[in-house]
């Protein structure tokens, strides 16, 4: 019998002291940048302090390196979509997710209604709002309240601590999320949404309002990087197969309509959110959490993605690279 290794080889991170120094350098390099604008289509997000900038890297063995405002809490927003997808994959499996939600990029903005109409009501993937609302509706539970509990508890297991809602963010978004309500009604008209549209949008909006820090994002991402084992609690949150499926969707669709550019420049599965968070996952190694509220036109943190690009190159995280490439002098465009 051949001795079959259990772990796919993805290479190793440099020594801990080197990783720590590079995380600090990434923060110092981009700290002064003022490029990008803070999102304000959800009114309260416009009040975020644009100076905040935190970076965190958690290795799969639980070692944490951070710099700047890595412990400042912000609403997780779209990054929740990645972890709800993992929970739904765990509950209903690969085939069902493929069939009912889809895994292909739309090439259109995250809140596009046209994408739905162009694809006969298919939400296309769980990272755009249509697909995310449809995915949340597939969470286990008979009632909306049970589904919400499953979301909150599931995301808390990824973070390794109880996550709570920012009530101000929740109320601000509920009062202004007409587009998401329209998307849910449209999904219902195509027979693509399980449950009451108003209730499903509310659960989705609550999941987006959960408070996390860059440190939490790194732990949540590192759980996906290590076959579902949380480096903080050592709890098995989801299976290794679910991590693989979730990361493939993030690679294709996680960074909005610029997912191709992200993969080309940075080369790891990732998800960003409009409050300025990014989680970037290096399978087998660990994950980066970043937070900085100024965004590019697609809705991704400018300083966060520059720091991820720098760290991906200097730490050798790019999945498509067979050796470490020196960081580029140039930056990601705003």
Per CB under 6 A, the list member of 208, 225, 250, 266 interacting with ligand GLU is: 208
150-153 — which CB contacts under 8 Å span 24+ positions?
150/87, 151/80, 151/84, 151/87, 151/203, 151/206, 151/207, 152/206, 152/207, 152/210
Strand partners, 281: 287
> Contact between 77 and ligand GLU (CB under 6 A)?
yes
Cα 198 from Cα 159, distance rounded (Å): 28
Residues comprising the chain, all counted:
334
Judge contact between 248 and 270, C-beta under 8 A. Answer: no
Please report how close the Cβ of residue 144 comes to ligand GLU at its closest, in angstroms: 17
Number of residues that bind ligand GLU (CB under 6 A): 11
Per CB under 6 A, the list member of 274, 279, 280, 315 interacting with ligand GLU is: 274
- Which C-beta is closer to ligand GLU: that of 286 or that of 304? 304
Residue reference for tokens 């900038």: 53
What residues from 150 to 189 belong to the interface with ligand GLU (CB under 6 A)?
Answer: 173, 180
Please report how close the Cβ of residue 19 comes to ligand GLU at its closest, in angstroms: 28
Active-site annotation holder among 156, 237, 256, 279:
256
> Contact between 230 and ligand GLU (CB under 6 A)?
no
> Contact between 227 and ligand GLU (CB under 6 A)?
no
CB-count burial class (<10 Å; 0-12, 13-18, 19+) for 62:
middle
Residue 78 annotated as catalytic? yes
Active-site annotation holder among 81, 147, 271, 285:
81
Please report how close the Cβ of residue 124 comes to ligand GLU at its closest, in angstroms: 15
> Contact between 299 and ligand GLU (CB under 6 A)?
yes
What residues from 127 to 146 belong to the interface with ligand GLU (CB under 6 A)?
Answer: 129
Per-residue 3-state assignment (H helix, E strand, C coil) for 259-277: HHHHHHHCCCCEEECCCCE
Please report how close the Cβ of residue 180 comes to ligand GLU at its closest, in angstroms: 5
Cβ neighbours for 226, distance < 8 A, ≥ 6 positions apart: 60, 243, 284
- Which C-beta is closer to ligand GLU: that of 136 or that of 230? 136
Cα 185 from Cα 167, distance rounded (Å): 25
Active-site annotation holder among 19, 23, 56, 78:
78
Active site residues: 78, 81, 204, 256, 274
Residues within the annotated binding site?
Answer: 78, 129, 173, 180, 204, 256, 274
Residues within the annotated binding site for substrate?
Answer: 78, 129, 173, 180, 204, 256, 274
């Amino acid at each position: 019998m051949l001795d079959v290794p259990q772990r796919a080889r993805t290479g190793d991170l440099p020594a801990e002291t080197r990783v720590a120094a590079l995380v600090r350098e990434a923060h110092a390099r981009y700290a002064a940048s003022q490029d990008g604008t803070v999102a304000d289509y959800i009114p309260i997000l416009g009040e975020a302090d644009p100076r905040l900038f935190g970076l965190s890297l958690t290795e799969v063995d639980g070692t944490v390196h951070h710099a700047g405002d890595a412990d400042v809490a912000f609403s997780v927003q779209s990054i929740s979509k990645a972890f709800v997808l993992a929970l739904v994959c765990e509950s209903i499996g690969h085939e069902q997710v493929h069939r009912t939600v889809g895994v292909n990029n739309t090439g259109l903005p995250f809140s596009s209604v046209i994408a739905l109409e162009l694809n006969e009501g298919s939400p296309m993937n769980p990272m755009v709002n249509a697909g995310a609302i449809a995915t949340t509706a597939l969470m286990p539970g008979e009632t909306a309240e049970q589904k919400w509990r499953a979301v909150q508890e599931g995301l808390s297991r990824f973070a390794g601590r109880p996550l709570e809602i920012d009530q101000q963010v929740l109320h601000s978004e509920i009062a202004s999320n007409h587009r998401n309500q329209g998307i849910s009604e449209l999904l219902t008209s195509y027979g693509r949404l399980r449950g009451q549209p108003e209730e499903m949008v509310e659960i989705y909006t609550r999941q987006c309002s959960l408070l996390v820090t860059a440190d939490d994002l790194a732990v949540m991402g590192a759980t996906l990087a290590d076959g579902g084992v949380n480096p903080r609690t050592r709890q098995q949150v989801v299976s290794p197969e679910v991590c693989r499926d979730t990361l493939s969707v993030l690679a294709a669709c996680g960074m909005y309509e610029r997912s191709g550019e992200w993969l080309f420049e940075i080369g790891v599965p990732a998800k960003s959110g409009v409050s300025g968070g990014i989680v970037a996952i290096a399978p087998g190694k660990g994950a980066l959490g970043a937070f900085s509220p100024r965004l590019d036109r697609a809705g991704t943190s400018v300083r966060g993605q520059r720091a991820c690009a720098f760290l991906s190159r200097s730490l050798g995280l790019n999945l498509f690279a067979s050796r470490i490439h020196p960081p580029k002098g140039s930056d990601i465009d705003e």
